[in-house]
Structure 1
Amino acid sequence: MNRHVKLRRNEENMTKIGIIGAMELEVEQLKQEMTVTSVIKKAGMDFFEGNLNGADAVIVRCGIGKVNAALCVQILADVFQVSHVINTGVAGSLNAKLDIGDILISKDALHHDMDTTIFGYQPGEVPQMGFREFTADERMMALAKEACEKVNPDIHVMYGRVVSGDQFISSKEVKERLITQFQGDCAEMEGASIAHGAYLNSLPFVIIRAISDKADDSAEMDYPTFEAAAARHSAALVKEMVKGILP
């Protein structure tokens, strides 16, 4: 069977959800709750294929950084023919309304470390794309928020902008620049690349970020303390959410 027939069959008859976390902590709980049918290794990543809460899914730890994240999306598209992409994990807050333990659901994402302004592009705009922000799927956004309100009723959840770059944000000066220049609500290291890859493959996506630190001078202290709890809350949200994506 050729790839085009596989893709048509996927589009018409099935939903398969690609779930990406950068670190093992961000996906280990989901893998434990998944009925795994196969594990395939590609580009140094282990792709766990099976059923999660009634949905066909592929769960993978992509590794840290934008290159790893982009490679991961392309493998999910080419090898597993996923129909949707969810990126779950933690992030630093850039918005005073987002405190540690809160959850942000992406309305869009952009690369804060892309700078070709000398050629007339906006800060963060990838040349020749024609736009700067990669917009999340509205239905997936709504499903994520509903799922969070159900399984994490005591946690504040909101929509916002994810800004990504290959750096851990831990200074007030950099934080203020990301707020002023990009109107970012949270900062992390993979989301925009996952959004970028999903866009290029015409895959609906959403990014879910539990806030683990304030992305300032306290970040190094806060991050280890709150990372585990933040990841648990995101995992509970994703497990509930996948039911709503089913046709």
Structure 2
Amino acid sequence: MKTCLLLCRIFLTVLLLTGTLSLRASATGLLDTTPRIAVVSAFEPEWTLLKSEIVDPVEHKINGRSFITGKLAGKDVVLFLSGISMVNAAMNSQLAIDRFSLKAVLFSGIAGGVDPGLHIGDVVIADQWGQYLEAVFARDTAQGFAIPPWMAKGDFAGYGMMMPRPVEVTRKDAAPESRFWFPSDPGLLEVARRAAAKVDLAHCVEANSCLSNKPRIVVGGAGVSGQAFVDNAKFREYVAATFQAKVLDMESAAVAHVAYSNGVPFLAVRSLSDLAGGDGGANEMMTFMDLASKNSATVVKGILKEMR
């Protein structure tokens, strides 16, 4: 009798544990099984227009963050804010990949222009993204700044003591690799080229306040991201010369890193709201943020329409 009772208790315990594990698994499973394109923005002004055009929206809340499913430009999407900064962008992008069935990730947002040939309002769709603040802060010696002797030298010149370096990346069924650049998806870049030929960009903030240069879309080149808001002309020149970068922001490379690690196609659309310190006067982000956000959203919708 005692043996029977003991066995029954063990059996019930196993059932309870199995049920608990099952509940935990379902709680962290997919919230929506429809294959979707993630449309991501960094902060509220960038996604206001996109959010207003979602058809049949359904809101999902995860860790206080809103993920809105529905249709945009005829495609099934999930729209969410990454939050400003590399950490927020990486964290929320991985959260979306874990909880939704994603076919691709499109990042829509504003950025600082680095290429001196670009102007406020222009849209850049870079073909690769790097993290310029992944770096060693080198020792100041009599011979100049020096990294530890046991550390391999990076591929890029430093800015004073800051020496950029690659990061280690892991992917499913692959050995860890060291890389600086994270690629945009070639297929999405081709779609972006088709969309660029059909999209008209805004160039006026108000009826009597227009940009001196009509905005254009540039597909290709490099972009870099880091945990700093850059408004410094000398550092802007360094970024342009060292990385041949066209644009600089605080999130895209982090999302590109996450997408690469998970094998999800990625593309970032960044519209210039300022020139990262290259402006003639004070930083103009707050003046042109809405215009740049509108242009970025317009291009993202154009890309969605072109996707088959």
Q: TM-score, normalised by structure 2?
A: 0.72
Task: Return 5+ residue gaps in structure 1 as ranges.
Answer: none
Structure exhibiting the larger radius of gyration computed from Cα positions: 2
Q: Secondary structure at the match of 1:83?
A: strand
Which letter does structure 1 place at the counterpart of 2:303?
M
Equivalent pair of 1:164/1:187 in contact (CA under 8 Å): yes
Distance of aligned partners of 1:72 and 1:36 in 2 relative to their CA distance in 1, 3 Å threshold: farther
Structure ranking higher in helix proportion: 1
Give CA-to-partner distance per residue, 1:145-178, whole Å, 9 cap, x none: 3223312266311122110001111011211221
**Corresponding residue of 2:216:** 156
Deviation at residue 180 of structure 1 after TM alignment: 2.6
Give the 3-state SS of the residue equivalent to 2:215 in structure 1: coil
Identity among equivalent pairs (%): 30
- Partner residue, 1:170: 231
CA deviation map 1:66-98 (0-9, x unaligned): 011001211111101211000111111110121
State the Cα distance separating 1:26 from its structure 2 match.
0.9
2:221 is aligned with 1:221: no
Q: Does the alignment pair 1:232 with 2:280?
A: no
Q: Which 10-residue stretch deviates more, 235-244 or 79-88?
A: 235-244
Compared CA separation, residues 150 and 217, structure 1 to 2 (3 A): closer
Distance 2:236 2:292 in 1: 20
Q: 1:95 to 1:189 in 2, by over 3 A?
A: same
1:137 has 2:137 as partner:
no
- Could you tell me which amino acid in structure 2 is paired with residue 68 of structure 1? N
Partner of 1:125: 166
2:97 pairs, out of 77, 83, 90, with: 77
RMSD over aligned Cα atoms: 2.3
Q: How many residues align?
A: 239
Post-superposition offset of 1:15 = 4.2
Q: Following TM superposition, by how much is the alpha carbon of 1:102 offset from its aligned partner in structure 2, in angstroms?
A: 0.7
Alpha-carbon distance, 1:245 to partner: 2.4
What TM-score, normalized by structure 1, do the two folds share? 0.89
Distance 1:227 1:145, change over 3 A: farther
Contact kept in structure 2, 1:36 and 1:48, CA below 8 Å: no
Contact 2:46 2:293 in 1 (8 A): yes
